[in-house]
Amino acid sequence: MRDLVASLRTDDPSWFQFEAGIVSPNDLTAMLAPHVSQARRANIEAVLDRRTENVAVVVEGMVDLGNVSAVMRTADGFGVQKLHAIDTATKFKRSKRITRGADKWVDRYRWESTDQCFDQLRNDGYRIIVADVSEGATPAWDTDFAQRCALVFGNELEGLSVDARQGADEVITVPMGGFTESFNISVAAALVLYEVMGQRRRRNASLGDLAPEARDRIRAVWYAKSVSNVRALVEHKLANDQPSNGTR
């Protein structure tokens, strides 16, 4: 789990810190743009148009790393930028399933406790909605997802922890019509996100709603991830732009 969720997120300031100084996201984008193909730049803009930080996905105590990868791919596919992993499992099941590159584009946060994660989410203005099979849970399609929300999914063996249930603002479920008691977590995440994004699309006519500064930051980092030897390239550019012996 630690390897899977270890990543330098787009909100890490080190993306913009160089030996020659700190650059803004827009300046970094301008320096790297000539080294990013026109097709890649167009694709990045199209994805940014559909991206959101107002919906976050949280996985708690996951055991099967293949399921973590699948949820990450699902989050990326629905335009979710932030995935939080509460890493409380003591052992993990390895899997051949991979993220198909989603881990390169999604910001991943690792937490050692549910309380720690939920506290940060609330500080960031998220309403915490947990998916569970318990009686009394509201069906996902009867839930209003208008607010900024974090969707929490429990592990494959035991579901959500007591801390997650007690700390939630709302408990939802995906109603089952057969003999099985629950969907696989990646399927449940896809079904809930489909409902969430459908509501958002009907309200806003668009899935994306990044704030301008977030869009600029993410674009710059995605450009950086698309360029080889980016740090050396930027250092060289900054050095050449500096005045030399007071003559420039």
Residue with tokens 């250092």: 235
pTM, 2 dp = 0.87
Residues 223 and 33: beta-carbon distance below 8 Å = yes
CATH hierarchy code of domain 2-7+53-204:
3.40.1280.10
* The amino acid at 227: V
CA 211 – CA 138 distance, rounded (Å): 31
* pLDDT of res. 98: 52
The pLDDT confidence band at residue 101, using thresholds 50, 70 and 90, is: low
Element (H, E) at 221: helix 212-225
Residue 176, Cβ neighbours under 10 Å: how many? Answer: 11
Q: Where are the domains of the chain?
A: 2-7+53-204
Contact (Cβ atoms closer than 8 angstroms) between residue 52 and residue 79: yes
R_g over Cα of the chain: 20
Q: What is the pLDDT of residues 128-186, one digit of tens each?
A: 999 988 778 999 999 999 999 999 998 877 788 999 999 999 999 988 878 777 788 88
- Kindly tell me if the per-residue pLDDT of 245 is higher than 60: no
Q: How far is CA 44 from CA 36, 51, 76, 99, 223, in A?
A: 10, 10, 13, 18, 8
> What's the confidence (pLDDT) of residue 3?
46
Task: Write the Ramachandran bin of 73: left for phi over 0, alpha for psi from -120 to 50, otherwise beta.
Answer: alpha
Task: Report which of residues 35 and 136 the model is more confident about.
Answer: 35
User: Residue type for 6, please?
Assistant: A
How confident is the model at residue 235, as a pLDDT? 92
Q: Side by side, which strands form the sheet with 149-153?
A: 107-111, 80-86, 52-60, 149-153, 127-131, 170-173, 138-139
Residue corresponding to tokens 């709603």: 209
Q: pLDDT tens, 58-94?
A: 999 877 778 888 899 999 999 999 999 998 654 444 4
Decide which of 98 and 62 is more confident.
Answer: 62
Burial of residue 242, with CB atoms counted within 10 A of its CB: 0-12 exposed, 13-18 middle, 19 or more buried: exposed
